[in-house]
Structure 1
Amino acid sequence: MSRRREHAHRTRPREAPAAALPEAEGLVREQGVRGGIGVGQLDLDGLDGAVLSLAPAPGGPPVARGEVYVLVRLRGRPVGTVLGRVGPGEDAAEVLAAAARKQLAGHVPPDAARSAPPVRPPRATVVVATRERAGQLARALDSLLAQDHPDHEIVVVDNNPVTAQTRELVEGGYAAHGVRYVREPVPGLAAAHNRGVAVARGTVVAFTDDDVVADPHWLGALTAPFAADPSLGCTTGLILPARLTTPAQILLESHGGFTKGFAPRRFDPARPPADEPLFPFTAGRFGSGANMAFRAAALRAVGGFDPATGTGTPARGGDDLYAFARTVVAGHGLRYTPEALVWHHHRETWQDLEDQAYGYGAGLTAYLTALLARRPALLPALLARLPRGLAHARAISAHRTAGTQSVPGAHGTQDYPWPRVLSRLERRGMLYGPLGYLRARHRVRGLRPPWETGR
């Protein structure tokens, strides 16, 4: 879920953090991590093959001794992440390759290194919504200009700006490379995304954030499935941490971060997955807003993003979850593809982590409220799933001390550390979410998608 920007109308939770940071640091120390964790990417010629390369995450320092979290690739294809410790004088590549072979054994299909037949992806528009973060935006745009997608455009949507920094950045250099600047005065991430959808020229509209660095193959991998599957309405991709230098960053990634695993998956509304009893209401399992794409016609047909959701509104989040669920409910398939990779710069401070925890909870229930408000016929299905839904909400927000896993933890296992103060904030956010959505909806009442009004 995309919750990282400094948009207007930000509602900060009121919770005394005095004891929280020591608790967070203690949980990280219990997991055997006493400083920051290096982040890198290791490419192998097969899981038992030779090391092809070891490189840092984009823009990061060289992989050195100490704890190192690496993305493991097999001939360029992402297949997993491992945590290893490189001692003084040791060869980092060999140590991490040994860790990969041990930790990923039995979890990587034998044909994982085999490349899929090339498919020409459809024409795409990349939308990046931003507000007053020109420095981070420049880093993201540099990576988007390096994409190997053969036919795409980039649109920057400046959401409710108070300075001209973003416009000056785009028009002062990036416009010469075809990047378009658009201003959206209505505060909120969903309104900004809808503005991008309105001006998009691509058959597919992809979205990412201003705090990511996109892999050069990201856009091609994210959009190619639309060419092969006419019933597909949405795709999502892999999000990995670009840095793990502070306790807040490590805890966020240990809590699951934004990663949805390394197995491609298709969610079909006609055949609900047996292992997803809450489908389609647990839309967060599909992906996150920093790495998603939609067939433009399908997204416009369902009304786009609900402007009363998302960062920058009283709802605090849920814009991406709403779009995922709304697309699936309309009968379109959704595909998760881990080869579509972006590196996300997690926020660094404890206050940031508190805001995120509260926003996670608020965004979840705000999105459910939005879905029911827009589609009341879904109420019986939601009520039927309510007991399991409450159990799921308690599980994902529960306080946990450090377990036996290394940090970062295995995603989706719910066996990672999560401080009590963050658990409380997440649950408080869940209680607040419906109210936040109703407040936000009151502010944007009468607002229609810009492609319908021509505004």
Structure 2
Amino acid sequence: MIALRLERPMASPVAPEWSGAVWIGAIDVAALAAAEGDAIALADSEGYALARLLVRDGRSVLGFVELPVVDLPEIGGSIAVDDLVARVRALATPVVQPEPIHLPSVTVVVCTRDRAEQLRSALTSVLAIDYPAFDVVVVDNAGATDATRELIRTEFTDPRVRVVSEPVPGLSRARNTGLLQATGEIVAYTDDDVVVDSQWLRALVAGFARSNDVACVTGLVPSGELRTPVQRYFDDRVSWSANLVAREFRLAEPPADLPTFPFSVGEYGTGANFALRRTDLLALGGFDTAFGVGTRTGGGEDLDIFTRVLFAGSALVVEPSALVWHRHRSDLGALRAQAVGYGTGLGAWLMKVALTPAMMRVAIRRTPSAVRRLVDKRGGTLESGTAAAATGPELQKAPEVDGVDWAKAVSKVGWVELLSVAKGPVRYLRQRWDGTGLIDPLVRRVALARR
């Protein structure tokens, strides 16, 4: 008897051909408790041997569980209710953050470049958010065609959605353009390759309500698709897909478990899911245009803004209940390109740290721990990662697929990223030579004066 039917947060273009593919979904403990039956049906589960579920209690995130997918007659892919209940009972009970009394207005900024198909699903999920006062600014960053504007004009006529152009390529420039167009008290940033949770903005706002000094809130970015070995490899390596504990970070209160703090790459979150108070971000000068996809540095803009928030004396909050599902790169070529961007962006950001006296004084004390952390990022395997290792069965290494030894192939990507770090400092200096930097002070003052 079917107790429930679960849908996937992200649709996949094709069924998986890899034996280690993992079906992704979510379940609420209240729905599980009310379920009557012995099996939970999984929609579009053909080709998946495992299921990973994000377990929630209302808006709160309890953790991940992984279970085998069983193919049942007339049902298809399913998981056993008893097995799921046992796994859920082993999860910790989170501290529930109360709903803030004041719900500030929010502007959601989505930066995109020639990816109208992905943007469609991202915007659809954004407009379905349960929040009383928000608008959306889509920044078309140096698009080669008018596909983005046509998509908004023909399919997203909702008055809350605006599209603006930023002709100079660079993610930081695009984010600054969105900031200058924003009208909300809070500016929330996400990407065009995501699906946001309906409670995303309420959870972000709850993070700001933790303390008056909170300037930035980040959220959880779990994998929305694990269809290929490449996606699983990336999922295993990034810590921000498994940050399940709410935390508050302040420069004056170094956490004992982060020896490289405040240069703790990955612990704060990622650029696909974060928000800042509009006035605080303008006071900081916005995003540094020497960083980001579309520039020589290829990334690093999120690392830069997170550390600048802390060095400005503000607090940064990680709020796992602010949930955004992300579609990782699915093929090896795209993964290599992403690794190069991550590596050069990291190297560029480290160069900026070295040239900023206040940061450098702290960095000198953290250097030994940082070097060990960086070297530990090399290589990698296709075994079960941080998100599910404590709750699910360990995955087997990937077999050869289409004649490719994926375990060997993707293990080299970590070295590509590590070697790319060395390119970052020179590329950062070349970006600086081109006149990149923060938003002009006069432009900031005008924006601050405007509601």
1:146-185 aligned at under 5 Å gives the runs: 146-185=128-167
What amino acid sits opposite 1:39 in the alignment?
I
Question: Structure 2: which 5+ runs fail to align?
Answer: 1-16, 398-406
Deviations 1:398-450 (A, max 9, x none): 223456x4696549xxx998843112101111111112212222223477448
Q: CA deviation at 1:196?
A: 0.8
Q: 2:339 aligns with which of 339, 349, 357?
A: 357
In the other structure, the counterpart of 2:24 is: 39
Q: 1:66 aligns with which of 46, 49, 54?
A: 49
Cα pair 1:233 1:295 within 8 Å, conserved: yes
In the other structure, the counterpart of 1:382 is: 363
Specify whether residues 447 and 79 from structure 1 end up closer, same or farther in structure 2 by C-alpha distance, changes over 3 A only.
Answer: closer
Q: What is the distance in 2 between the residues matched to 1:55 and 1:296?
A: 43
Q: 2:92 aligns with which of 101, 108, 117?
A: 108
What amino acid sits opposite 1:435 in the alignment?
V
Q: CA deviation at 1:177?
A: 3.0
Q: What is the distance in 2 between the residues matched to 1:208 and 1:234?
A: 14
1:180-329 aligned at under 5 Å gives the runs: 180-256=162-238, 258-329=240-311
Q: CA deviation at 1:368?
A: 2.3
Once superposed, what is the RMSD of the aligned Cα atoms? 3.1
Specify whether residues 288 and 270 from structure 1 end up closer, same or farther in structure 2 by C-alpha distance, changes over 3 A only.
Answer: same
Specify whether residues 376 and 340 from structure 1 end up closer, same or farther in structure 2 by C-alpha distance, changes over 3 A only.
Answer: same
What amino acid sits opposite 2:360 in the alignment?
L
Cα pair 1:365 1:434 within 8 Å, conserved: yes
Specify whether residues 97 and 250 from structure 1 end up closer, same or farther in structure 2 by C-alpha distance, changes over 3 A only.
Answer: farther
What amino acid sits opposite 2:54 in the alignment?
L
Specify whether residues 423 and 447 from structure 1 end up closer, same or farther in structure 2 by C-alpha distance, changes over 3 A only.
Answer: closer
Q: CA deviation at 1:89?
A: 2.5
Specify whether residues 256 and 99 from structure 1 end up closer, same or farther in structure 2 by C-alpha distance, changes over 3 A only.
Answer: farther
Question: Structure 1: which 5+ runs fail to align?
Answer: 1-28
In the other structure, the counterpart of 1:136 is: 118
Q: Secondary structure at the match of 1:310?
A: coil
Q: What is the distance in 1 between the residues matched to 2:124 and 2:84?
A: 33
Q: What is the distance in 2 between the residues matched to 1:320 and 1:204?
A: 17
User: TM-score by structure 1 length?
Assistant: 0.82
Q: Secondary structure at the match of 1:45?
A: helix
Q: CA deviation at 1:378?
A: 1.8
Specify whether residues 36 and 295 from structure 1 end up closer, same or farther in structure 2 by C-alpha distance, changes over 3 A only.
Answer: same
In the alignment of these two chains, the number of paired residues is 412
Specify whether residues 410 and 307 from structure 1 end up closer, same or farther in structure 2 by C-alpha distance, changes over 3 A only.
Answer: farther
Q: What is the distance in 2 between the residues matched to 1:298 and 1:367?
A: 21
What amino acid sits opposite 1:393 in the alignment?
L
Specify whether residues 165 and 177 from structure 1 end up closer, same or farther in structure 2 by C-alpha distance, changes over 3 A only.
Answer: same
Q: What is the distance in 1 between the residues matched to 2:428 and 2:316?
A: 25
What amino acid sits opposite 1:145 in the alignment?
L
Q: 1:341 aligns with which of 323, 334, 337?
A: 323
Q: What is the distance in 2 between the residues matched to 1:400 and 1:453?
A: 47
Q: CA deviation at 1:328?
A: 0.8
Structure possessing the higher relative contact order (Cα contacts under 8 Å, 6 or more residues apart): 1
Cα pair 2:110 2:138 within 8 Å, conserved: yes
The answer to whether 1:400 aligns with 2:380 is: yes
What amino acid sits opposite 1:350 in the alignment?
L
Q: What is the distance in 1 between the residues matched to 2:437 and 2:308?
A: 20
Deviations 1:300-329 (A, max 9, x none): 111111101011111111001100000111
Deviations 1:78-102 (A, max 9, x none): 2111221122329866526624633
Q: What is the distance in 2 between the residues matched to 1:99 and 1:398?
A: 35
In the other structure, the counterpart of 1:13 is: none
What amino acid sits opposite 1:298 in the alignment?
D
Q: What is the distance in 2 between the residues matched to 1:454 and 1:186?
A: 22
Q: Secondary structure at the match of 1:362?
A: helix
Q: What is the distance in 2 between the residues matched to 1:238 and 1:433?
A: 27
Cα pair 1:205 1:295 within 8 Å, conserved: yes
1:360-375 aligned at under 5 Å gives the runs: 360-373=342-355, 375=356
Q: What is the distance in 1 between the residues matched to 2:180 and 2:82?
A: 46
The answer to whether 1:443 aligns with 2:443 is: no
What amino acid sits opposite 1:399 in the alignment?
G
Q: Identity of aligned pairs, percent?
A: 36
Q: Secondary structure at the match of 1:205?
A: strand
Specify whether residues 106 and 313 from structure 1 end up closer, same or farther in structure 2 by C-alpha distance, changes over 3 A only.
Answer: same
